[in-house]
């Protein structure tokens, strides 16, 4: 998996999803008399997207108390929960790594300079020993050498302890970096890769030419608007989550699954030709066609919910855009030809 290249907040660019959010955001401006500026829009965006629970709690508390958001509060919320959260995590980790490396390098420097001094001292004392015949003098010089050797051993031990501690701290920081990166690349609703991470995967695939076949599939839930209209948006979200888990179940470990838009998922399948990708897609389509999801509260069936899939294999001269666009056209054809089917481009 490639490194996430940005720590800016990641937003979905699908028109339909953002239209749905806008429908929810605009009334909030009026209802709570909130100034409709970009900062407040970003706050309310995360608020309605329901993917930032801490921010939601904070806004709910403020609205309950004051019924609106003042400039200072908005700026604080934005700085704490939207813009700088991931940036701060990266900066904090970077700073900690800096400190650990500085401490370790100081310990190594100290040991080196003491070893250098001891080396010079030993040389002088060896010359003295060679040129002195007095036994009492010999004894004093040898005691000196022993004392310096012990001091050097103590410094080396201290350096070893510092390096062991640095190693443990670096291991811990590595874990922190992994979890920060996971947050930055994961879709909050489904746990799949987000669109930003998908873009990185695609860049990587196009940048590294050669290797085996790569197939890309775009999957879209059919008549999803109807699902939302009939069962409500939260139930729609549950359907998206279910489809995501179904896709994950069928793909191989080395395949990448991302949420591409609201109810659109993408599967990037390295080392997989179109025929194998077709079989995987067909298994997903068939299982979705058969399954009957139920509303938890009253066990009522949501009826048949199907998916359409467009897939295409990478060509040598493909850019990221041309690769995606061919899969997109295939998906469009699958919709045109009646849905609940796979088309290839």
Ligand X SMILES: Nc1nc2c(ncn2[C@@H]2O[C@H](COP(=O)(O)OP(=O)(O)OP(=O)(O)O)[C@@H](O)[C@H]2O)c(=O)[nH]1
Which are the catalytic amino acids?
263
Query: For ligand X, which is the closer residue by CB, 162 or 224?
Result: 224
Tell me how far apart the alpha carbons of residues 208 and 200 are, in angstroms, rounded to a whole number: 12
Minimum CB separation of residue 309 from ligand X in Å reads 12
Q: Is 236 in the site for ligand X (CB under 6 A)?
A: yes
- By DSSP bridging, strand 307-313 and strand 342-344 are parallel
Q: Which residue bears the tokens 């958001």?
A: 69
Minimum CB separation of residue 232 from ligand X in Å reads 8
Minimum CB separation of residue 263 from ligand X in Å reads 5
Q: Is 16 in the site for ligand X (CB under 6 A)?
A: yes
> Binding ligand X by CB under 6 A: which of 24, 241, 335, 341?
335
Strand partners, 268: 216, 256
Tell me how far apart the alpha carbons of residues 113 and 107 are, in angstroms, rounded to a whole number: 10
Give the number of C-alpha atoms closer than 13 A to the C-alpha of residue 29, restricted to the C-beta side: 16
> Binding ligand X by CB under 6 A: which of 45, 47, 224, 323?
224
Q: Which residues ranging from 250 to 289 are in contact with ligand X (CB under 6 A)?
A: 262-263
- For ligand X (CB under 6 A), the number of binding residues is 19
> Binding ligand X by CB under 6 A: which of 20, 44, 258, 268?
20
Q: The tokens of 325 are what?
A: 């666009």
Query: For ligand X, which is the closer residue by CB, 16 or 329?
Result: 16
Query: For ligand X, which is the closer residue by CB, 186 or 272?
Result: 186
Query: For ligand X, which is the closer residue by CB, 313 or 343?
Result: 343
Minimum CB separation of residue 319 from ligand X in Å reads 26
x/- letters, 64..103, toward ligand X (CB under 6 A): ----------------------------------------
Minimum CB separation of residue 240 from ligand X in Å reads 6
Q: Is 225 in the site for ligand X (CB under 6 A)?
A: yes
**233 SS3 class:** helix
Tell me how far apart the alpha carbons of residues 58 and 52 are, in angstroms, rounded to a whole number: 10
Query: For ligand X, which is the closer residue by CB, 73 or 304?
Result: 304
Q: Is 310 in the site for ligand X (CB under 6 A)?
A: no
Torsional sign, CA 23, 56, 49, 204: positive
Tell me how far apart the alpha carbons of residues 119 and 274 are, in angstroms, rounded to a whole number: 68
Q: Which residue bears the tokens 């929960």?
A: 81
- By DSSP bridging, strand 307-313 and strand 264-269 are unpaired
> Binding ligand X by CB under 6 A: which of 162, 187, 200, 220?
220
Query: For ligand X, which is the closer residue by CB, 18 or 283?
Result: 18
SS (H, E, C) 65-125: HHCCCCHHHHHHHHHHHHHHHHHHHHHHHHHHHHHHHHHHHHHHHHHHHHHHHHHHHHHHH
Q: In the complex, which residues of this chain contact ligand X (CB under 6 A)? A: 16-17, 20, 220-226, 228, 233, 236-237, 240, 262-263, 335, 339
């Amino acid at each position: 998996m490639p490194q996430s290249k940005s720590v800016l907040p990641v937003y979905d660019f699908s028109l339909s999803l953002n239209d749905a959010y806008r429908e929810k955001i605009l009334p909030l401006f009026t209802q709570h008399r909130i100034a409709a500026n970009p900062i407040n829009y970003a706050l309310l965006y995360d608020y309605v997207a329901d993917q930032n629970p801490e921010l939601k709690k904070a806004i709910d508390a403020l609205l309950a108390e004051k019924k609106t958001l003042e400039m200072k509060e908005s700026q604080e919320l934005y700085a704490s929960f939207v813009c700088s959260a991931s940036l701060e995590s990266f900066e904090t980790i970077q700073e900690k790594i800096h400190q650990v490396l500085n401490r370790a390098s100081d310990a190594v420097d100290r040991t080196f300079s003491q070893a250098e001094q001891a080396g010079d001292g030993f040389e002088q004392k060896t010359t003295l020993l060679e040129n002195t015949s007095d036994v009492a003098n010999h004894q004093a010089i040898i005691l000196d050498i022993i004392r310096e050797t012990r001091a050097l051993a103590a410094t080396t031990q201290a350096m070893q302890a510092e390096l062991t501690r640095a190693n443990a701290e670096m291991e811990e920081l590595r874990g922190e970096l992994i979890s920060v990166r996971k947050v930055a690349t994961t879709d909050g609703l489904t746990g799949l890769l987000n669109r930003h991470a998908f873009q990185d995967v695609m860049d990587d695939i196009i940048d590294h030419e050669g290797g085996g076949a790569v197939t890309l599939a775009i999957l879209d839930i059919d008549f999803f608007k109807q699902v939302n209209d009939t069962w409500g948006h939260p139930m729609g979200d549950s359907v998206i989550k279910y489809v995501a888990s179904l896709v994950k179940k069928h793909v191989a470990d080395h395949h990448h699954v991302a949420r591409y838009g609201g109810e659109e998922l993408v599967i990037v399948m390295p080392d997989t030709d179109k025929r194998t990708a077709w079989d995987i897609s067909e298994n997903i389509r068939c299982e979705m066609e058969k399954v009957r999801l139920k509303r938890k509260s009253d066990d009522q069936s949501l009826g048949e919910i199907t998916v359409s899939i467009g897939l295409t294999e990478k060509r040598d001269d493909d850019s990221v855009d041309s690769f995606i666009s061919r899969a997109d056209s295939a998906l469009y054809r699958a919709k045109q030809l009646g849905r609940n089917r796979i088309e290839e481009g």
